[in-house]
Amino acid sequence: MKSFDEQLAHLIKEALQEDVGDGDHSTLSSIPAGKKGKAVLKIKQDTILAGMAVAEKIFRLQEPEMVFTAFKKDGEAVVNGEKAFEVAASVHTILTCERLVLNCMQRMSGIASLTHRYTEKLKGYHTRLLDTRKTTPNFRLLEKEAVRIGGGVNHRFGLYDMIMLKDNHIDYCGGIAPAIEAAYAYSQRMEHPLRIEVETRTLEDVKTVCAMGKGKVFRIMLDNFTPALITEALQLINGAFETEASGGINLDTIESYAATGVDYVSVGGLIHQAQSVDLSLKAVLL
């Protein structure tokens, strides 16, 4: 598996290729090749800032000798009117990278800000906040990084780093018990066995996992359970497995789930309901 930096470099390369194609002709036609310049990232909306390290990486991959001066850091609460960073580089680099930097930081800051609002609701509770795989194709790396910056916990990154038996897996396999047995046998044949999480839809499902999943399953997902049903399920589980509540949890209801004592709540809306933040990259006239 490639490192975060390697994956980020690949994402940036592909994103620039998508945007630049055979050339940034607006810049090539109007700015001399050797011209140097500075630009500043201006914050135009109160937010939790995310993407500072990504912005620096974008500029540095395009021009290793550029100078990046950070005034803020990832995860910091910032307000309208503040400045996040200044970059000194060739004007070609600044203009070619401008939109990619803004697209990444605006999206990431929106996700980090929404995640922060959720984690504030969990203060004082045992429960922690998970993201999901409900992400934008080819942008998952940065969306999940934004969740982490905002104070959330990353769930599995993809289909390869955990076995997660959801409703369709279970139904196609003929039930929870055969699905767990098949998944556990498969995992044990791997060089590095994967952990198994099982989705449950009823208290009977929970009882089944409790009866035959010890030593095989590490987490039980309680899908679309009400807080009252989660409380009953937790009594059945009695600490034998990690627990995750999922399904329709939002800012208005998350505290009622946390009050049950469940270990995690997962919220797909952290990413797919987040709104981008208003930022701008402006030339500094020398």
DSSP assignment string, 19-81: HHTT--HHHHHHS-TT-EEEEEEEE-S-EE---HHHHHHHHHHH-TT-EEEESS-TT-EE-TT
Q: Based on the residue annotation, tell me whether 191 is a catalytic residue of this protein.
A: no
CATH 3.30.465.10 given to domain 120-272 = no
Q: Which of 131, 145, 199, 263 is catalytic?
A: 199
Q: Which of 24, 145, 205, 223 is catalytic?
A: 223
Q: In what order do the strands lie in the sheet with 196-200?
A: 128-130, 264-266, 242-246, 219-223, 196-200, 163-165
Q: Based on the residue annotation, tell me whether 134 is a catalytic residue of this protein.
A: yes
Q: Which of 60, 166, 195, 207 is catalytic?
A: 166
- What's the pTM? 0.96
| Residue 35 in tokens | 């011209």
Residue 84 pLDDT: 98
Residue 143 pLDDT: 98
pLDDT tens for each residue of the chain, 286 residues long:
789 999 999 999 999 999 999 999 999 999 999 899 999 999 999 999 999 999 999 999 999 999 999 999 999 999 999 999 999 999 999 999 999 999 999 999 999 999 999 999 999 999 999 999 999 999 999 999 999 999 999 999 999 999 999 999 999 999 999 999 999 999 999 999 999 999 999 999 999 999 999 999 999 999 999 999 999 999 999 999 999 999 999 999 999 999 999 999 999 999 999 999 999 999 998 6
CATH 3.40.640.10 given to domain 4-111+275-284 = no
DSSP-assigned beta bridge partners for residue 242 = 219
Residue 285 pLDDT: 83
Residue 146 pLDDT: 98
Domain ranges of the chain: 4-111+275-284, 120-272
Nearest by Cα to 54 from 5, 15, 96: 5
Q: Which of 99, 195, 201, 207 is catalytic?
A: 99
Q: Based on the residue annotation, tell me whether 214 is a catalytic residue of this protein.
A: no
Nearest by Cα to 262 from 274, 272, 253: 253
Q: Based on the residue annotation, tell me whether 199 is a catalytic residue of this protein.
A: yes
Pairing of strands 36-43, 83-90: antiparallel
Taking a C-beta distance cutoff of 8 angstroms, is the pair 223, 201 a contact? yes
Q: Residue 18 carries which side chain, given as an amino acid letter?
A: E
Q: Based on the residue annotation, tell me whether 223 is a catalytic residue of this protein.
A: yes
Q: Which of 73, 134, 148, 207 is catalytic?
A: 134
Asked whether the domain spanning 120-272 has the same topology as the one spanning 4-111+275-284, the reply is no
